[in-house]
Structure 1
């Protein structure tokens, strides 16, 4: 799958907000006091642990908003695997501006690379199966587009981006509607023909009811591998099957082996550890 770059319109407002938060009312008083205004410098970004890179364009934007004279040359582009000590990018320009933009650039790059790295670990765990690893809406507020991009950089796919691009009927919807039949019926009556409908089920009995009505996808929530195997057999290719619920790299292979189409994982975006990346001065 080709990793298409994010449009600057998506991330530039986020980068601007982050820089304003860091610069406060007086700017970088440390760099301004210590570094001569005309001094130039070169820095290199190095991986300090194994991982997958994501977010270099966002990091470049952080530096260039501080000074358009800064250049960032990617040595390992987004989606690349890196090892400790490997150079990810070289950044050159006014020394003051490099120091001012450093933390904001690294905050984005380390976080997004952490999401990509975690995704890659799950993708690797299910590589010999048909299952695709996808993320959810459990994202950091304001960073959804970036985090979902990072999932793609790690080899995963994206679930819906928001409440407006697909119908996902969950347990509370079913309870408030008065049952599965009523919830699906209202959804079909009120959304357009281009909108897909997915229903979350907790039991095989619920799945049987959903299949009798007909939808596009079923979310098989917190089922055991045995239950998932039976659910896939019941679906028999008539709907997309998605497994979800406390899935890790250790449990993913058994879940993928059941034959499900998708494995959705919320912690990829809300709890992935940042990838340790350093920014070092080149004398």
Structure 2
């Protein structure tokens, strides 16, 4: 077992094979086909240039009904307010008729605005329209394993991401979103916070070490190497990969799991920021708004 002071995971080649993605994705394929067709109809003006998938769907770790569908649409110009309204209606209609549509997230990026990773773009996520940037982490995913659903390849429209840009984005996410989020105990009673918090930490560790992006399944093995609480890691694995999925847990376990996750992440994030971000100061009072 690695000492707690060593945040470096073993090479990927030495790890156990991660959970296999589900092979029956018929409903996902049908939803993406329908979304792409209706999106082209809605975006005759502005014109749809490309539609890409990243995240689990692009990286080969997709689990139908459990994983999000993370998409990026590139248009030839920015959407006007009326066009944004119609896009919202498209997503609402899909959500009311397709069982997987609640997990479909899509950012709409104008081609002449795609170069700036700080710029926020119209995004449908968690059943509402909002604005958020396409971060260097997402951009590197698109270049590394982005799946083209329509139009041009990411390399044709999306500027490359340097290792320095990627590392900075990862460190900022840990420092300004995940570390402050630990000051909100109630959040950590929810599966999504526990899952993403620990998996983001493991994936960040590998990325900061060598610039490599890994899947959530691979991240489970990294968590074991980082001395994450074994019972929390087992809980995440079961809920994300077991078939059938386990039944909801009792409140006593949720409270214990929250304490274990927050304690581990507090020390692990601080250690990671110290190791990979010389001079980085940890902010503990900023409320988090979102992260990868």
TM above 0.5, yes or no, is no
TM-score w.r.t. the length of structure 2 is 0.23
The structure richer in strand per residue is: 1
In our comparison, the structure showing a higher alpha carbon Rg is: 1
What TM-score do the two structures reach when normalised by structure 1? Answer: 0.24
Between Structure 1 and Structure 2, the one with more helix by share is 2
